[in-house]
Structure 1
Amino acid sequence: MDPEIRKIVTFDEEVFIEGFRKADVPWRMFAVAAVVQNPWAGRYVEDLRPEIRSFGPVLGELMTERMIKLAGSGAAIEAYGKAAVVGLDGEVEHASGLIHTLRFGNHYRQAVGAKSYLAFTNTRGPANAPIMVPLMDKNDAGRRSHYLTIQFAIADAPRADEIVVVLGGATSGRPFHRIGDRYQDLEEMGHDLDNPAAV
């Protein structure tokens, strides 16, 4: 069974001035959202795995291809994340089911050469609900410059029986980041960075 995709929406933002200063290089964040029919809408289904197993690879491959095309290459993507918003006749578990699977996320991770896990949100809402895609550095989870959030909405999605599945990315962190990284905080607090158990 393949997912029934009603439409695909692309979000692309370039910021030229941030914090009253012109960025040397535009700060760019972008996303691909697939509006998918929810196969479990309006009823309780105990075993979600058959649809997850068939939907994951299709959505993962299709959306990753579009993300790489937007960026120009996998190497150009420095920060990444994923999200899903389920319509009102669905469960948050349905949103989670489509994005929290290796069959979905591994396509993107491998295409960008990532080591970090994919940051995520999974929520429920009506059409035009805010879609929030948290991003983090694809290789360094403690790099705060790349803690970003893409926010947009789709006027007619999700319908009550749909799920919006999203991949997001950025080609850099914030232009003028100056709050340091997690490691600096840990050092200041006296944690041994060579001993993960101490953190």
Structure 2
Amino acid sequence: MTIDVRKIVVGVEEVRHDGGPKLDRPILKGWIAAVLKNPYAGRYVEDIQPTMEALKPLGLECATKLLEALGGDTAAIEAYGKGSLVGAAGELEHGALWHVPGGYAMRELLGEALAIVPSMTKVGPLGAILDVPIHHRNAAYVRSHFDGVTLMVQDSPRPDEILFALAMTTGGRPHPRMGGLTQDQISKRDGQR
């Protein structure tokens, strides 16, 4: 199966504070979106799982480009997430094709990444906004890292396209004050706590 990528877009923001004191180290929040032709647009296909295998190189390419945009240091990445935005001629299930290629690529690239990668999938029109949930890469219950990245690619997805996205950050929210498990309290090494 050929994966026909029309474009790849990368966005990075540098958060210096969020209304409170300036941070000693800015937090980088980045995302990458790959926009590609949906091979199933306009028709129902029973077995679409082989496409997950075909998407694995794209997942690794996207994860690598995003890591580079955030400075290239795997140890600096604290949180991640993924998402899909399917054009109107597709179906929600087509966005689920990104679960393995996107999530596993980030986990493989980062080395130690124990937590499942949170995800959002939706069908939307040209220029739709995608909110990608993120949480800590090693413990999903680290409350300070419950966050998200909002992205939009103006000319995407066309009705017969899918936008697949990854997100990574170098920190949690700038001024966490909601208690709960903190990053330095991760102990179970089970991906949750």
Structure 2's unaligned 5+ residue stretches are 183-187, 189-193
Q: 2:166 aligned with 1:167, yes or no? A: yes
Q: Alignment RMSD, CA only?
A: 1.7
Larger radius of gyration: 1
1:115 alignment counterpart: 114
The answer to whether the Cα contact below 8 Å between 1:2 and 1:58 also exists between their aligned partners in 2 is: no
Q: CA deviation at 1:174?
A: 1.2
* Residue identity in the other structure for 1:115: L
* Residue identity in the other structure for 2:123: R
Task: Note the alpha carbon deviations across 1:28-81, whole angstroms, 9 max, x for none.
Answer: 2001110011000001111102222212x1211111111221222221110001
1:30 alignment counterpart: 30
2:52 alignment counterpart: 52
Q: CA deviation at 1:20?
A: 4.0
The answer to whether the Cα contact below 8 Å between 2:15 and 2:174 also exists between their aligned partners in 1 is: no
How far apart are the structure 2 equivalents of 1:69 and 1:7? 18
Segments ≥4 residues shifted beyond 3 Å: none
1:93 alignment counterpart: 93
2:39 alignment counterpart: 39
2:129 alignment counterpart: 130
* Residue identity in the other structure for 1:123: K
Q: Secondary structure at the match of 1:75?
A: helix
Q: Secondary structure at the match of 1:100?
A: helix
Q: Secondary structure at the match of 2:148?
A: strand
* Residue identity in the other structure for 1:83: G
How far apart are the structure 2 equivalents of 1:104 and 1:157? 19
Q: 2:148 aligned with 1:146, yes or no? A: no
Structure 1's unaligned 5+ residue stretches are 184-193, 195-199
Q: Percent identity?
A: 38
How far apart are the structure 2 equivalents of 1:64 and 1:27? 18
Q: Secondary structure at the match of 1:25?
A: coil
2:175 alignment counterpart: 176
The answer to whether the Cα contact below 8 Å between 2:83 and 2:120 also exists between their aligned partners in 1 is: yes
Q: Secondary structure at the match of 2:128?
A: coil
